Amino acid sequence: MSREGVEHALRARADERDRISGDLLDLESHTTYQLLKGASLRGATERRWAAAHESLATLWLLNDAYRAVLRDAEQLRATRGRLGAEQLAELTELLAGASVVLRAAAKPVEQRSLLPQADERLTLAQTVARMDAAFQDVTSALNDIDAVWNALLPLLDAADGDLRRIHDLERDLGEDAGLDAPAAELKRLRAAVVEDPLGAAVEPDLDRLTRLLATTLTELELAIVVKEEYARRREDLVAALDRVRAAESEARLAHGAVVVKIALPPQAQPRSGVDALADRLDALDAAADRWVLRAKRLAELESEARKAADQARAAAKALYGLVGRRDELRGRLGACQVMAVRKGMAEDPAASELFERARVLLWSAPCDLTKAAAAVETYQRAIHGGKP
């Protein structure tokens, strides 16, 4: 190498050494690396990190040898202001030759040979390449472990938070949600993720457990609300049952008024459900149920009371609607009769017979709406020449 080449190589290698030192310091300060240093690992993670640890030991061994050669080169350069041929040759050998010596590693006796073990010699470039391969082994293991921890530990933390909140609500309610087994399972899942993230296939169990805790938490929060609002909501439910009674009474009145005018099937008779709802409310008051169950039953009663009132009102409206349907058919029959007169069919025997059949059905009490509607339709087609 020329003097300029040696100077350039020294500067480049010094910069490279500083960069490598910075990367190694970053590696040692990496959060996951620090956690793994003192962690109790097992399974696939223990094996992967043991292999990475061997790569790390090789990395530091290579780095020490690499730095020693650079140190020798810098000391040799510092001894002379102007380099002579001998110094240039030595520096060239250090910077470009196989100057990095790796001593043969001591092996267990069962792996030794009586033949001499040769040391390995590398150039600085080869040493850096081998250091980089070892560095990639270590960082690859860190990244894989870190990815699992970053994905699962927040979920475990959230589940632990839900479990703590559940315990607080249990104390407020004076009830036990029966989560001893899920709590133990959550502890087991955390241990699996912490100790063997690469071998812990916990996602299905964690998802199921997370949903269970979320459901339980929602139920307990609802129970707290019901416990605080029970007296008011019970009064509101009593009022809702009164509205159901009124709506059912209106449906019965509608049935009584309509059944004499319109032929109704037996199933059209309104049925009352308010007494059963009232009995369930009384049972809810008397029972020593847990608040979680009481909250569910109260919500069910509130929903069913609204539904019962709506159904009764709809039944009354439908019953009165039948009378309106009869009146609409009467009006339609009258309009068809007017059309028949205009067409000169008023005296037609067949048309007259059809009209009379429809009229009798519509003015009979109770009126069979199905037959009456069919009769009106038949008469209408007749006066329109068979067209609907």
Mean pLDDT over residues 244-273, rounded?
93
Closest residue by Cα to residue 383 from 345, 332, 335: 345
Preceding peptide of 116 cis, ω within 30°: no
| Confidence band of 82 (pLDDT split at 50, 70, 90) | low
How much is the pLDDT for 290? Answer: 78
Same domain assignment for residues 30 and 125: yes
Residue 217 makes CB contacts below 8 A (sequence gap 6+) with 162, 165, 166, 169
**How many Å apart are CA 217 and CA 210, to the nearest integer?**
10
How much is the pLDDT for 203? Answer: 92
Domain boundary among 177, 201, 224: 224
Question: Rounded to two decimals, what is the model's pTM?
Answer: 0.63
| Confidence band of 3 (pLDDT split at 50, 70, 90) | confident
**How many Å apart are CA 226 and CA 290, to the nearest integer?**
11
Mean pLDDT over residues 180-207, rounded?
93
Q: Which residues on adjacent β-strands are paired with residue 100? A: 122
Q: What is the DSSP string of 47-105?
A: HHHHHHHHHHHHHHHHHHHHHHHHHHHHHHHHT-SS--HHHHHHHHHHHHSS-EEEPPP
* Residue with more model confidence, 276 or 83: 276
Q: Which of the residue ranges 74-88, 116-130, 177-191 would you say has the lowest mean pLDDT?
A: 74-88
**How many Å apart are CA 318 and CA 325, to the nearest integer?**
10
How much is the pLDDT for 112? Answer: 66
Same domain assignment for residues 204 and 235: no
How much is the pLDDT for 80? Answer: 66
| Confidence band of 296 (pLDDT split at 50, 70, 90) | confident
Same domain assignment for residues 87 and 140: yes
Question: Phi, psi at residue 189, to the nearest 5°?
Answer: -65, -40
Same domain assignment for residues 241 and 315: yes
The tokens for 337 are 């009769």
With respect to residue 373, please indicate whether it lies within any of the assigned structural domains.
yes
First to last CA, the chain: 109
| Confidence band of 223 (pLDDT split at 50, 70, 90) | confident
How much is the pLDDT for 111? Answer: 67
With respect to residue 274, please indicate whether it lies within any of the assigned structural domains.
yes
203-259 vs 274-286: helix axis angle to the nearest 10?
140
With respect to residue 217, please indicate whether it lies within any of the assigned structural domains.
yes
| H or E element that contains 120 | strand 120-122
Closest residue by Cα to residue 27 from 147, 136, 144: 136
With respect to residue 110, please indicate whether it lies within any of the assigned structural domains.
no
Same domain assignment for residues 53 and 7: yes
Check if the beta carbon of residue 59 is closer than 8 Å to that of residue 135. Answer: yes
Closest residue by Cα to residue 328 from 285, 369, 365: 369
Same domain assignment for residues 9 and 125: yes
With respect to residue 151, please indicate whether it lies within any of the assigned structural domains.
no
* CA angle (148 as vertex; 145, 150 as ends), nearest 5: 105
Mean pLDDT over residues 180-203, rounded?
93
Position 81 pLDDT exceeds 70 = no
Position 162 pLDDT exceeds 70 = yes
**How many Å apart are CA 278 and CA 237, to the nearest integer?**
9
With respect to residue 150, please indicate whether it lies within any of the assigned structural domains.
no
| Confidence band of 386 (pLDDT split at 50, 70, 90) | low
Same domain assignment for residues 236 and 220: no
**How many Å apart are CA 82 and CA 63, to the nearest integer?**
29
How much is the pLDDT for 355? Answer: 93
The tokens for 167 are 């315990």
Position 32 pLDDT exceeds 70 = yes
Domain boundary among 224, 246, 261: 224
* CA angle (365 as vertex; 361, 368 as ends), nearest 5: 45
Position 284 pLDDT exceeds 90 = no
| Confidence band of 287 (pLDDT split at 50, 70, 90) | low
Q: Give the CB-side neighbour count of residue 126, counting CA atoms within 13 A.
A: 12
Same domain assignment for residues 252 and 308: yes
Closest residue by Cα to residue 357 from 384, 326, 333: 333
Tracing tokens 């308010």 back to the chain, one arrives at 274
Q: Which amino acid does the sequence have at 24?
A: L
With respect to residue 317, please indicate whether it lies within any of the assigned structural domains.
yes
Q: Which of the residue ranges 164-173, 219-228, 240-249, 322-331 would you say has the lowest mean pLDDT?
A: 219-228
Mean pLDDT over residues 351-368, rounded?
94
Same domain assignment for residues 30 and 121: yes
Same domain assignment for residues 178 and 140: no
How much is the pLDDT for 66? Answer: 94
Same domain assignment for residues 34 and 141: yes
Check if the beta carbon of residue 336 is closer than 8 Å to that of residue 380. Answer: yes
Average pLDDT, the chain: 89
Q: pLDDT tens-digit profile of 134-149?
A: 999 999 999 999 999 9
**How many Å apart are CA 213 and CA 165, to the nearest integer?**
10
Position 387 pLDDT exceeds 60 = no
Tracing tokens 């019970």 back to the chain, one arrives at 234
| Confidence band of 249 (pLDDT split at 50, 70, 90) | very high
Q: What is the CA radius of gyration of the chain?
A: 46
Same domain assignment for residues 87 and 213: no
Q: pLDDT tens-digit profile of 95-115?
A: 888 888 887 666 666 666 776
Give start and end residues of each alpha helix (H) in 260-348. 274-286, 291-342
Residue 330 domain boundaries? 324-383
Mean pLDDT over residues 46-69, rounded?
93
| Confidence band of 251 (pLDDT split at 50, 70, 90) | very high
Domain count, the chain: 4
With respect to residue 156, please indicate whether it lies within any of the assigned structural domains.
no
The tokens for 98 are 């196989």
How much is the pLDDT for 388? Answer: 47
How much is the pLDDT for 206? Answer: 94
